[in-house]
Amino acid sequence: MKQLARSDTLREKVEELSGQNVFACYQCGMCSAGCPLSEEMDLLPHQVVRGLQLEDWTVMESNTMWICASCLTCEARCPHGVDLACVMEAMRQLYLRKSLDHIAIDKLTTEEIARLPQIALVASFRKKTG
């Protein structure tokens, strides 16, 4: 079995985490055309995959992966069976693993903790696990 080695490139990391071959994508754009949320994205889903093919780290700064709701419409229609929801999740994981901008729980006041939705707290803990 192939060892899960720490890879250096963005593409390899995403492929390793998602189990998808980003080079299977031939940029037909069917994912973007059918995505119910693509209007809210600053990069369309196919552009994100193109960015990965080009090893362009700026895709990590786009809001696309955070808008993706994993509805799997793209995956169901993709002619090459690329599971974009998996790719987006892999990118989210990579981002979270950097442990950026997480909430310092110990600095929160009791009042703030009471006001915060529980799920937000859970999410911020998750960011620390990367």
Partner 1 sequence: MPQPRIGIFVCHCGLNIKRTVDTQAITEALGEYPGVAFATDYDYMCSDPGQRLIKEAITEQRLTGIVIAACSPAMHEPTFRRAAEEAGMNPYLCEMANIREQCSWVHQDREAATKKALRIVNTIIEKVRGNHPLEPVEIDHVNKCLVIGAGIAGIQAALDVAESGFAVILVEKEPTIGGHMAQLSETFPTLDCSQCILTPKMVEVSRHPNITLLTYSEVVNVSGYVGNYTVTIRKNPTYVDPDKCNLCGDCENVCPESTESEFERGLVQRKAIYIPFRQAIPSSYTLDEETCLGLRPLRCNECAKVCDPKAIDYDMLPEIIEEEVAAIIVATGYELHPISSLGEYGAGLIPDVIDGLQFERLLSASGPTGGEVRRPSDGKIPKKVVFVQCAGSRDPEHHNAYCSKICCMYTSKHALLYRHVVPDGEAVIFYIDIRAGGKGYEEFVQHAIEEERILYLRGKVSKIYREGDHVIVWGVDTLSNRLVEIEADLVVLAISIDPHPSNPILSKVLKISCDAEGFFKEAHPKLRPVESLTAGIFLAGAGEGPKDIPEAVSQGSGAAAKAVTLLVQEKLSHSPEVVDINENICSGCGICVNMCPYAALAVNGGGVAEVNEVLCEGCGTCVSACPTGAAQLKNMTTKQLNNMIEVALRDV
Burial grade of 25 (CB within 10 A; 0-12, 13-18, 19 or more): buried
Residue 20 CA to residue 38 CA, distance in Å, equals: 21
Smallest separation, CB 73 to partner 1 (Å):
8
Type of residue numbered 35:
C
Stretch that binds partner 1, among 32-40, 53-61, 62-70, 100-108 (CB under 8 A): 32-40
53, 46 Cβ separation under 8 angstroms: no
Query: 26 or 125: whose CB is closer to partner 1?
Result: 26
The answer to whether the beta carbons of residues 30 and 77 sit under 8 Å apart is yes
Q: Which amino acid is located at 24 in the chain?
A: A
Q: Which two tokens stand for residue 37?
A: 């949320």
Would you tell me how many other CB atoms lie within 10 Å of the CB of residue 24? Answer: 12
Determine, following the binding rule CB under 8 A, whether residue 27 of this chain makes contact with partner 1: yes
Q: Can you tell me which of 9, 69, 72, 81 binds partner 1, judged by CB under 8 A?
A: 81
The reply to whether 32 sits near partner 1 by the rule CB under 8 A is yes
Pattern 40-79, partner 1, x by CB under 8 A: ---xx-xx-------------------------x---xxx
Among 31, 52, 60, 87, binds partner 1 (CB under 8 A): 31
Q: DSSP secondary-structure letter at 81?
A: -
Q: Is 96 a residue that touches partner 1 (CB under 8 A)? A: no
Residues that bind partner 1 (CB under 8 A): 26-35, 38-39, 43-44, 46-47, 73, 77-81
